[in-house]
Structure 1
Amino acid sequence: MSINPYVPILFLFVLGIGFAATSVLVFAKIGPTRYNRAKLDSYECGIEPSPQAAGGGRVPVKYYVTAMLFIVFDVESIFLFPFAVAFDQLGLFALIEMVLFVIAVFIAYAYVWRRGGLEWD
């Protein structure tokens, strides 16, 4: 009698959901429940909350640059994992394509680095 190959995946899924639910329920029961004004306020890095942001509600460009850099390197890792797994079957053409891809991402990284996009003020 053979076991279905999806049974271990289902078991880990149920185990993960069970662990998360148990953690939330147990810590809700045994955790401290001392509420005060600071805990009930919204969190803004220790600054008193205000109805409008200090700069007139504008978000700094550095925020968007950081988000785009994260997406670029996240997409790079998404493409590198399948390549690493199937490297034996892909051959020389795929190796050249992956080298070109990494070079293109490195050029973008170097450009952002030279422009000061990685420095925080």
Structure 2
Amino acid sequence: MLMLMITLIMMITHILIFISILISKKKKFDREKNSPFECGFDPKTPSRLPFSLQFFIITIIFLIFDVEISIILPMIISFKLINNMIWFITSISIMIILIIGIFYEWNQSLLNWKF
């Protein structure tokens, strides 16, 4: 009885797949539409092509300052909950670290956009 049910389920599944293939609107198989899309790179080319280091650095800078926003916003909300001196020292130290980082990036000329 179990084998009969499994066979029947498999047959129904295959029939439904076959019917969906027959009546589908996509008849023409295009290489571009069938290939996976990965960030604009062609998956059929070698993966060891030269990559723009400037793009990578700008991405890292963006992530750093995105995390900075997620640190600063709760600090503003917690101003009333924490001792003012502790809050002040913490916020100033975070700001000094970020300012030193931005001066380092500026000194290394990582913020120059070259096209």
**Fold agreement, TM-score > 0.5:** yes
Pair 1:77 & 2:69 matched: yes
Structure 2 Cα separation of the partners of residues 92 and 104 of structure 1: 18
Query: For residues 114 and 106 of structure 2, what CA distance do their matches in structure 1 show?
Result: 12
Identity %: 19
Provide the residue aligned with 1:95 in structure 2: 88
Aligned residue pairs, count:
88
TM-score (norm 2): 0.55
Unaligned runs of 5+ in 2: 1-43
2:100 maps to what in 1? 107
For residues 120 and 105 of structure 1, the distance between their equivalents in structure 2, rounded to whole angstroms, comes to: 24
Query: Shift of the alpha carbon at 1:64?
Result: 1.5
> 2 CA distance for matches of 1:78 and 1:98?
13
Question: Could you list the runs of 5+ residues in structure 1 that have no partner in the other structure?
Answer: 1-49
Alignment partners' CA distance in 2, 1:52 and 1:113: 34
The TM-score with structure 1 as length reference comes to 0.53
Q: Are 1:72 and 1:105, in contact at CA under 8 Å, matched by a contact in 2?
A: no
* Higher Rg of the two aligned structures: 2
Q: Deviations over 1:51-108 (max 9, x none)?
A: 469xx61211111111110111011100000011111111211211111111101111
